[in-house]
Amino acid sequence: MSVRVAGVADPVVRAADTSRLRRGIGRAARRDRFALAAALVLVGAALVALLAPWLPLPDPDALDTPNRLRPPLSPGHRLGTDEFGRDLLARLVWGARVSLLAGVATAAAAMAIGVTLGILGGFYTGWVETVVMRLTDILMAFPYILLAIAIVAGLGPGLRNAMIAIAIVGFPIYTRLVRGVVLSLREREFVEAARALGATDPLILGRHILPHLLSPVIVAFSLDVGAKILATAGLSFLGLGTQPPTADWGSMLATGRQFVVLSPHVVLLPGLAIFVVVLALNLVGDALRDLLDPRTHER
């Protein structure tokens, strides 16, 4: 005898879900041309960052002091040079590798820790729940960036430590989000039915609860990557993240600041790069939320 427990596992329902999702994507793409453009910007930025070593660019760290602070469209330097005569386009492209990787990696780490703790804190009552929730309460009792700065203060400045700090500071939002969803799912009939059929905890979590977490977590993650890029850039700007001579958008802004009067492009360009990428991430994140969260459909 076979018993179907959850609608999620039903192939008919799943096929209907997929076709609805596909129609949804088509509708969203037509309605939200901005989100489509934003997705293209992100793919472009990721490709450029990935292919940086093979692109025909000068060495991003090569000093050329006679040619310092050249304006954009100078011969040999399409976006000009910085205070040491280093090619700005090359530094922006190589900086994209650091900034994008830092954003994605810290958001992924925060998500992994946060989702795990959120599931544990929502599914198990008792001391597990207490420990998880108190931990997130305490971390959230600090202003976000301040705690990250404090952790970097302890670990010592540097990109790796800045990323660790931002991941630690960032996981409680996922914990809160996931715990809320798990708490409401725990009492639902299909979970009770699965338990009545003798399903173990890992099976219930994996088969019946995890699929429901996917869309809220994907939406949160897509919006979080941008926030993490901003946070990493902020720490680098304070001199606590990437250390010279490595190019990263935040540190480029910090060092270019002293030359902003005569050569505003040194500061404007890395800031613009951060702005465009984070804006694109936010647009895509918003579109994903409209697509995956039925409550915002009738907006």
Partner 1 sequence: MRRYVVRRLLLLVPVLLGVSVIIFMVLHLAPGDPAEIMLGSQATQADLNRLRAELGLTEPLYVQYIHWLGLVARGDLGRSIWMKRPVLTEVLGRFKATLVLTGAALVLSTAGGLALGILSAVRPNSLLDRLSAVASLFGASMPVFWLGIVLMVIFALWLGWLPASGMFAPYGGGDLRDLLAHLALPAVTLAAASVTIIARLTRSTMLETLGQDYIRTARAKGVVERAVVLRHGLKNALIPIVTVVGVQAGYLLGGAVLTETVFAWPGVGTLMVQGILARDFPLVQGCVLVVALSFVVINLIVDLLYAWLDPRIRYE
Q: Which is nearer to partner 1, 121 or 226 (CB)?
A: 226
Least distance to partner 1, CB of residue 8, Å: 31
Alpha-carbon distance 206 to 203, whole Å?
5
The yes or no reply on residue 226 touching partner 1 (CB under 8 A) is: yes
Least distance to partner 1, CB of residue 250, Å: 8
How many residues form the binding site for partner 1 (CB under 8 A)?
46
Least distance to partner 1, CB of residue 200, Å: 34
Signed CA dihedral, 230, 94, 275, 111: sign only: negative
The yes or no reply on residue 295 touching partner 1 (CB under 8 A) is: no
The yes or no reply on residue 149 touching partner 1 (CB under 8 A) is: yes
Q: Which of 158, 216, 239, 245 binds partner 1 (CB under 8 A)?
A: 239
HSE at residue 278, side-chain half, CA atoms within 13 A, is: 19
Alpha-carbon distance 147 to 170, whole Å?
10
The yes or no reply on residue 283 touching partner 1 (CB under 8 A) is: yes
* Residues in a beta bridge with 74: 77
Q: Which of 153, 196, 203, 214 binds partner 1 (CB under 8 A)?
A: 153
Q: Which of 104, 95, 215 is nearest to 166 (CA)?
A: 104
The yes or no reply on residue 37 touching partner 1 (CB under 8 A) is: no
Angle at 240 between CA 177 and CA 238, to 5 degrees: 95
Residues 6+ apart with CB under 8 A from 268: none
The identity of residue 218, as a single letter, is I
The yes or no reply on residue 237 touching partner 1 (CB under 8 A) is: yes
The yes or no reply on residue 126 touching partner 1 (CB under 8 A) is: no
Region 52-111 residues binding partner 1, contact defined as CB under 8 A: none
Alpha-carbon distance 120 to 255, whole Å?
44
Alpha-carbon distance 56 to 223, whole Å?
33
Alpha-carbon distance 40 to 190, whole Å?
40
Alpha-carbon distance 171 to 113, whole Å?
6
Q: Which is nearer to partner 1, 115 or 277 (CB)?
A: 277
The answer to whether the CB of 258 falls within 8 A of the CB of 267 is no
How long a stretch of residues is the chain?
A: 299
Choose the stretch contacting partner 1; rule: CB under 8 A; options: 58-66, 196-204, 206-214, 234-242.
234-242
Least distance to partner 1, CB of residue 31, Å: 15
Choose the stretch contacting partner 1; rule: CB under 8 A; options: 76-84, 140-148, 174-182, 208-216.
140-148
Q: Which is nearer to partner 1, 92 or 152 (CB)?
A: 152
Choose the stretch contacting partner 1; rule: CB under 8 A; options: 75-83, 132-140, 171-179, 205-213.
132-140
Least distance to partner 1, CB of residue 276, Å: 8
Q: Which of 167, 178, 267, 284 binds partner 1 (CB under 8 A)?
A: 267
Helix (H, G, I), strand (E, B) or coil at 246: coil
The answer to whether the CB of 144 falls within 8 A of the CB of 134 is no
- Residues at the contact surface with partner 1, assessed by CB under 8 A: 134-135, 137-139, 141-147, 149-157, 226, 230, 233-234, 237-240, 250, 253, 257, 260-261, 264, 267-268, 271, 274-275, 278-279, 281-283, 286
